Structure 1
Amino acid sequence: MNLNVMLDRRNFLGMFGAAAGAAVLAGCGGASSAGSNGSSGAQKGDASAAGYTLVTAGKITVASDLANPPFDFVENNEPKGFEVDLMKKIAEKLGLECEYLPAMKFDSIIPLVKQGGKADVGVSNFTITDERKQEIDFSDAYIDSNQGVVTKVGSQKTDAGSLNAEGVTIACQSGTTGEAWAQENLPKATIKSLDDPVAAVTGVQTGLYDAAAADLPVMKYLCSNSFTDCQVSIEIPTGEQYGIVVSKDNAGLTDAINKALAELTDDGTIKQLEIDWFGSEI
């Protein structure tokens, strides 16, 4: 994927930002209506019978920043990526359609899901943390991850010692575990909070920032595909796990998603999605 694809999200935001409160971007698959998979699908698609509620009957509505390739991003005004395909598979298991809202800032997703009424779930590389669990529920984990620090090829600042210094600027996505790690471990550096990791790595590439910290799979992907003059200099073994964000008031939906995730794990679907998007199992 080239840089133009990565930056397509910014065009997408400009095109759809005014409609973010009401419009839905596009379906990402699943049954055309609850019950279109036959009698079994009809039972799965009946949200009230399954013990959960949905913003729109027959659909699971997803909030995402769509800014973390290859997990989620925008291409030709359509959501793409590992998590997008995963949500499609989950929707199919539940007999539902899957629709994404227009891209939004990462740190606005949990409050949106918590308040209800606009999004059923949040899916955007959300690390399961005790702090976040005070606000919302998480599904079971569907992937393991660590953090990565990117610097420009040829930089002399490629370790924590050289980056933890006055005059050094580290770019991070606002509200993420990458930002939290940088604040805790690089206290002498200036931490610059941005909307997404693509902007952070772009700043490293142009020399605006000395480094960028974000989810390791995202950083590896960006450096391999669009920012080949940048490199992952530090791999941080944080042992994180990603989960799907669900309102505490919708425990039945969490249970249904967990059942779908277990089935997708058992039948090898998640492993295949990892190979499709990351080149190998993670």
Structure 2
Amino acid sequence: MTASNERNITRKEFVKGAGSALGMAFAMGLAGCSSEGGSSSASSSSASSSDSAAAADSSASGASEYILVTEGKLTGVSDMAYPPLESIPDGSTTPEGFEIDMMDALAKKLGLEMTWLSPTKFDTIIPMIKQGGKADVGVSAFTITDERKEEIDFTESYLDSNQGLVTQKIATDKTQEALDKSGKKIAVQSGTTGEDWVKENLPNATCVPLDDAIQAMTGVQSGLYNACVIDLPVASYMCTKSYTDLTVAISIATGEQYGIVVSKKNTKLTKDLNAAIEEMKSDGSLDELEKKWFGTTI
């Protein structure tokens, strides 16, 4: 990441998959057989049942080659404080969001049931996946970076992202120049690329690492911090839904991509998740999730 003074507001775009052949191959190998199931019009009901059973056996066989915490389940871990990507609404114990719906769909394609651990601090998730034994995948808007890839594997990207700098609407200091001064406090989520950007591009300000983005936004709202830097889709969503007295003062074009975190030992799981992601890109289901959680394709 290099120092950037870009002020233009950039639109996030979903990664458009071109590997339709890979997606089709995955669907043939792992997906359950439909009523059309490749049978001819003259196929008997017993032949159809046999095809369905064979498809189920194939799916179970593939899943059995994964290294899983719990057999038959794909166990995920997230900080669950990054709406609309993932969060647990007040009064509920059930997570929701774009990444939650995406992982449900991906797990189903692998013949597995998606399950989640309790919310975990963002900067502890990669070490947890690397160590193994507690979770199979980390899903918390992880930007794919070479540094992180030294510790774990990433799937192919499923979403593009940039960073957003958030201030109070009534703030007078909203530019990078005005905020890059001694005495200015910029909140970030610890261990994120937003933290990296602040340290590189606002070196004279004080970077304040926090547990999650909600703490950062709340701190800016209360006046404890002058600004915060978090992923642009999350910043835009929260400024619209929950923190209407805050605004995205600067859209920072960092060109990041999100990937699912997987252990380097779980190579088949990574491979099959990649195929399932490509299938969701090709059939438009990722676009549908984007419309559901962002209101439109971006």
Under TM normalisation by the shorter chain, which class is it? 0.7 to 0.9
Q: Distance in 2 between matches of 1:41 and 1:197?
A: 41
Give the match for residue 137 of structure 2: 121
Partner of 2:83: 69
Distance 1:161 1:43 in 2: 59
CA contact 1:223–1:232 (8 Å) conserved in 2 = yes
Q: Displacement of 1:53 after TM fit?
A: 1.5
Cα drift, residue 35 of structure 1: 8.2
Listed as ranges, the matches of 1:137-176 within 5 Å are: 137-176=153-192
Q: In 2, are the aligned partners of 1:147 and 1:237 still within 8 Å (CA)?
A: yes
2:119 matches 1:103: yes
Residue 189 of structure 2 aligns with an amino acid whose one-letter code is: Q
Question: Given the superposition, is the C-alpha separation of residues 186 and 223 from structure 1 closer, same or farther in structure 2, using an over 3 Å criterion?
Answer: same
- 1:43 Cα deviation after fit: 2.0
Displacement of 1:36 after TM fit? 11
For 1:261, the aligned partner's letter is I
What TM-score do you get using the length of structure 2 for normalisation? 0.81
Question: TM-score of the superposition, structure 1-length normalised?
Answer: 0.85
Distance 1:35 1:56 in 2: 21
Aligned residues: 248
Aligned to 1:228: 244
Specify every segment of 5 or more residues in structure 2 that has no aligned partner in the other structure, as ranges. 1-30, 35-51
CA pair 108-247 structure 1, distance change in 2 beyond 3 A = same
- Which structure has more relative contact order (CA 8 Å, sep 6+)? It is 2
* Offset, 1:47: 4.4
Counterpart of 1:272 in structure 2 is: 288
Matched, 1:52 2:66: yes
Matches of 2:57 and 2:150, distance apart in 1:
34
RMSD value over aligned CA atoms? Answer: 1.6
Residue pairs, 1:192-203, within 5 angstroms: 192-203=208-219
| Displacement after TM superposition at 1:45 (Å) | 3.2
Which residue type is aligned with residue 106 of structure 1?
F
Classify the secondary structure of the residue corresponding to 2:104. Answer: helix
Unpaired runs of 5+ residues, structure 1, are 1-33
Within the alignment, does 1:214 sit opposite 2:253 as a pair? no
- Does the alignment pair 1:86 with 2:127? no
Report the 3-state secondary structure (helix = DSSP H, G, I; strand = E; otherwise coil) of the residue aligned with 1:235: strand
Amino acid at match of 2:117: L
- Kept in 2, the 8 Å contact 1:41–1:94? The answer is no
Q: Distance in 2 between matches of 1:114 and 1:36?
A: 35
Q: Which has the larger radius of gyration?
A: 2
Q: Write the distance in 1 (CA, Å) between the matches of 2:161 and 2:81.
A: 17
Structure 1 distance, partners of 2:275, 2:59, is 11
TM-fit CA distance, 1:42: 3.6
Residue 96 of structure 1: how far off its partner (Å): 0.7
Once residues 201 and 176 of structure 2 are traced to their aligned partners in structure 1, the CA distance between those partners, rounded to angstroms, is 8
Matched position secondary structure for 1:55: coil
